[in-house]
Amino acid sequence: MADPEAPATELRMSIGELTEFMTAAFDRPLTWRIERSDLDGVRVRQPVQSSDLRPGGTVSGPTLMSLADGISYIAVLARIGPQALAVTTSMNINFMRRPRAVDVVADAMILKLGRTLALVEVTMYSDGGDPRDLERPVAHAVVTYSMALVGREGT
Amino acid sequence: MADPEAPATELRMSIGELTEFMTAAFDRPLTWRIERSDLDGVRVRQPVQSSDLRPGGTVSGPTLMSLADGISYIAVLARIGPQALAVTTSMNINFMRRPRAVDVVADAMILKLGRTLALVEVTMYSDGGDPRDLERPVAHAVVTYSMALVGREGT
Amino acid sequence: MADPEAPATELRMSIGELTEFMTAAFDRPLTWRIERSDLDGVRVRQPVQSSDLRPGGTVSGPTLMSLADGISYIAVLARIGPQALAVTTSMNINFMRRPRAVDVVADAMILKLGRTLALVEVTMYSDGGDPRDLERPVAHAVVTYSMALVGREGT
Amino acid sequence: MADPEAPATELRMSIGELTEFMTAAFDRPLTWRIERSDLDGVRVRQPVQSSDLRPGGTVSGPTLMSLADGISYIAVLARIGPQALAVTTSMNINFMRRPRAVDVVADAMILKLGRTLALVEVTMYSDGGDPRDLERPVAHAVVTYSMALVGREGT
């Protein structure tokens, strides 16, 4: 198996494969749309849904946390491949602006991908269609993953 | 209005009032049960639900994050009262053990309750009925709230 | 070697041994005084020093961060013993009150001690001699350690 | 006074003014060198010093934490000006690689600059002269500041 610490020169899963894997992992249709996945990271769009809103028309904090957790996992999978067992070990999230009742767009960037630990930075935006929307993040998260590569101990 | 920085000598909302307030705030029946609320903090039980589980029988990370966010809010409300506008500004959560497919019990303790900022510590457990279950946390979170007291500026 | 995941029924280092180990590790006399070390955790006192103060008579933030890092390490060592190689992997610290120009007292409690990861909670106080001082924390930190047990791979 | 929430179209302090301000604030000569300050953020170099090293030739964790705290303050000052009273309220730092016994270079970017809260992202590198050194961060921090503008209440 290839070295996960090697510089990122390739992706191990396509957007289609990532979507399929996440759908199976969560056992339900994925509402997130993976819009981009390349060596710089991953972009995911969460279409606004009434179940994610709080009275007053704000996307709930747990919706953003859940998205930050999910996109970090997707970003790690894209680089490591589906044989990885990655478990979230921590998240630090800062809420910066009130998220409006529009789509949430999340960008994930891998800060470190080691043999046992991955560190992912996530920036989230309320995207109402104005190009300036993607300059004003609503939340920022740093997520750590502990990784156990399947077959590592057995082989 | 009383000084929120004063030592905690009283609670401003009963368990019944907190439940009613949260139900209205979330616009749906509260699945969390507030089991305890006193000057030491708040205990909330989240009965296990299939929608919170991941394949493999683990309670999902976002379920724990959502509970940590919710119980922190409840703990702040209990001390400040329903006139408070408290907005989560950050959460730092560490996942420590695999949460089993049983109830999650969360304990919240207020570390600081200032005029504009509150800091809440949350410890979460998988409660399968064994008394030792509440000695082995599955996750630990520190949550900060920014508070704006309604009417503060107007009066 | 004993199982680090076993319940804490013993300590592997005395206060004297911890002080000696830390002095050697830092290559200079330890200004911290380890006041307590038992199965509940560790208490360390940092006597106020002019080099830790900011103009205005406040203990500096980096002084508190350094103490939080150090006491976490001491708390892990007390339980794991000097053969451990523990490396700080993260710290989340919240500053809650202005630390006065008096001794800082830090309490560390181990939240999790696994085979590869330890999680330590640290609460810090400005101790000017008033018994109530130890009820009003000035800062709170959660520190994670990655542990590699010497000889694990070689033997 | 100008609106701190306005888009960053100007800097309020030059590198010379920042250096002078920090020297006065810390009451001793600044060992950090501010190498860059523009609308994208600030770069600071900390020349390697023996007092920052641990036996084994690693820059200590507290050295990195102190630098992260300091550069965040510098980045906020550059945008707000010296009339600001900014107090660190939290730091979340992840240590990613062993920092070698060479200069540390830190880059700070302001994620949010509100009226009362600022959020700064800091990435740190071991700079031994190899151009690739600045592609492999040794640590990453997110720092929050609470700001009170002098004269706000009085005027």
B47: how many CB neighbours lie within 10 A of its CB?
Answer: 12
Asked whether the beta carbons of residue D90 and residue C92 sit closer than 8 angstroms, the reply is yes
Q: Which residue has the tokens 């002098």?
A: D150
d(CA D11, CA D18): 11
* CB contacts, 8 Å: A89 with chain D: none
Residues 6+ apart with CB under 8 A from B69: A61, A62, A65, B88, B91, B143
- Write out pLDDT tens, residues D68-86: 999 999 999 999 998 767 8
* A129 compared with B83, residue with greater pLDDT: A129
d(CA A66, CA A36): 19
pLDDT at C70: 94
Mean pLDDT for the stretch of residues A43-65: 88
Residue B138 has pLDDT above 60, yes or no: yes
B136: how many CB neighbours lie within 10 A of its CB?
Answer: 13
Asked whether the beta carbons of residue D146 and residue B117 sit closer than 8 angstroms, the reply is yes
pLDDT at C100: 94
Structure tokens at A102: 């529009």
pLDDT at C7: 54
Confidence of residue D7 (pLDDT cuts 50, 70, 90): low
pLDDT at A150: 47
CA atoms within 13 A on the CB side of B74: 36
B50: how many CB neighbours lie within 10 A of its CB?
Answer: 7
Out of D90, D116, D146, the one facing B90 most closely (by C-beta) is D90
On whether the CB atoms of residues D113 and D81 are closer than 8 A, the answer is no
Q: For C94, name the nearest residue in chain B, comparing CA atoms only.
A: B119
A144 touches chain D (CB under 8 A): yes
B49 touches chain D (CB under 8 A): no
Instruction: Report how far apart, in Å, the C-alpha atoms of D34 and of each of D21, D64, D67 are.
Output: 12, 16, 12
- The candidate with the shortest Cα–Cα distance to C71, out of C86, C60, C51, is C86
Residue A51 has pLDDT above 90, yes or no: no
Residues 6+ apart with CB under 8 A from A155: none
On whether the CB atoms of residues A117 and A143 are closer than 8 A, the answer is no
A92-106, D42-56, D87-101: which range is least confident on average?
D42-56
- Write out pLDDT tens, residues C16-31: 999 999 988 876 778 8
Mean pLDDT for the stretch of residues B49-70: 88
On whether the CB atoms of residues A30 and A15 are closer than 8 A, the answer is no
Identity of residue A22:
M
Confidence of residue A55 (pLDDT cuts 50, 70, 90): confident
Torsion of CA B17, B19, B21, B26, to 10 degrees: 180
* CB contacts, 8 Å: D153 with chain B: none
Q: How many contiguous H segments (helices) and E segments (strands) does chain A have?
A: 2, 8
The values of phi and psi at residue A17, to 5°, are: -65, -40
Out of A55, A69, A89, the one facing B62 most closely (by C-beta) is A69
* CB contacts, 8 Å: C111 with chain B: 94, 96, 137, 140
Out of B25, B55, B62, the one facing A66 most closely (by C-beta) is B62
Over chain D, what is the mean pLDDT?
Answer: 87
Structure tokens at D86: 């900014």
3-state secondary structure B90-103: EEEEEECCCCECCE
Q: For B90, name the nearest residue in chain A, comparing CA atoms only.
A: A94
- The candidate with the shortest Cα–Cα distance to B104, out of B140, B67, B50, B57, is B67
A46-55, A110-119, B32-41, B60-69: which range is least confident on average?
A46-55
* CB contacts, 8 Å: B87 with chain A: 95
* CB contacts, 8 Å: A89 with chain C: 117
- The candidate with the shortest Cα–Cα distance to A90, out of C145, D11, C133, is C145
As a whole-number percent, the residues of chain B with pLDDT over 90 amount to 65
Asked whether the beta carbons of residue A92 and residue C92 sit closer than 8 angstroms, the reply is yes
Q: How far is A90 from chain C (nearest CA, A)?
A: 10
Q: What is the ipTM for the molecules in this complex?
A: 0.89
Confidence of residue A7 (pLDDT cuts 50, 70, 90): low
Identity of residue D28:
R
Instruction: Report how far apart, in Å, the C-alpha atoms of C52 and of each of C88, C97, D44, D72 are.
Output: 22, 16, 22, 19
Q: For B113, name the nearest residue in chain C, comparing CA atoms only.
A: C96
Q: For A144, name the nearest residue in chain C, comparing CA atoms only.
A: C90
The values of phi and psi at residue B112, to 5°, are: -150, 140
Q: For the whole prediction, is pTM greater than 0.80?
A: yes
Residue D154 has pLDDT above 80, yes or no: no
For chain B, positions 100-139, list CB contacts with chain D under 8 A: 116-117
Asked whether the beta carbons of residue D116 and residue B116 sit closer than 8 angstroms, the reply is yes
On whether the CB atoms of residues C116 and C147 are closer than 8 A, the answer is yes
* CB contacts, 8 Å: C94 with chain B: 111, 119, 142, 144
pLDDT at A10: 86
Mean pLDDT for the stretch of residues B103-118: 93
Asked whether the beta carbons of residue B137 and residue C111 sit closer than 8 angstroms, the reply is yes
Confidence of residue B1 (pLDDT cuts 50, 70, 90): very low
For chain C, positions 69-98, list CB contacts with chain A under 8 A: 89-90, 92
* CB contacts, 8 Å: C90 with chain A: 90, 144
The values of phi and psi at residue B152, to 5°, are: -60, -50
- H or E element in which residue D59 lies: strand D58-59
* CB contacts, 8 Å: B121 with chain C: 140
* D117 compared with A68, residue with greater pLDDT: A68
pLDDT at B40: 86
- Write out pLDDT tens, residues C20-59: 999 888 767 788 999 999 998 999 999 988 888 877 788 9
pLDDT at C8: 59
Q: For D140, name the nearest residue in chain A, comparing CA atoms only.
A: A111
Q: How far is B17 from chain C (nearest CA, A)?
A: 29
D83: how many CB neighbours lie within 10 A of its CB?
Answer: 12
A42-46, B92-96, C7-11, C57-61: which range is least confident on average?
C7-11
d(CA A116, CA A118): 7
On whether the CB atoms of residues A76 and A149 are closer than 8 A, the answer is no
On whether the CB atoms of residues B112 and B71 are closer than 8 A, the answer is no
* CB contacts, 8 Å: C140 with chain B: 111, 119, 121, 142
All chains having 3 or more CB pairs closer than 8 angstroms to chain B = A, C, D
On whether the CB atoms of residues B47 and B59 are closer than 8 A, the answer is no
Q: How far is D138 from chain B (nearest CA, A)?
A: 21
- Tell me the three state secondary structure of residue D155: coil
How many beta-carbon pairs below 8 A join chains C and D?
56
Confidence of residue D3 (pLDDT cuts 50, 70, 90): very low
Mean pLDDT for the stretch of residues A71-91: 90
Residues of chain C scoring pLDDT < 70: 1-9, 27, 84, 149-155
Task: Encode C4-32: b = buried (16+ Cβ within 10 Å), e = exposed.
Answer: beeeeeebbbebebbbebbeebeeeebeb
d(CA C75, CA B23): 42
d(CA D8, CA C21): 49
Identity of residue B153:
E
Residue A100 has pLDDT above 50, yes or no: yes
User: What single string gives the DSSP state of each residue in chain B?
Assistant: ---TTS-----SS-HHHHHHHHHHHHTS----EEEEEETTEEEEEE---GGGEETTTEE-HHHHHHHHHHHHHHHHHHHH-TTEEEEEEEEEEEE-SPPBSSEEEEEEEEEEE-SSEEEEEEEEEEESS-GGGGGS-SEEEEEEEEEEETTTTT-
Out of B94, B119, B121, the one facing C119 most closely (by C-beta) is B94
CA atoms within 13 A on the CB side of D108: 30
Residue A66 has pLDDT above 80, yes or no: yes
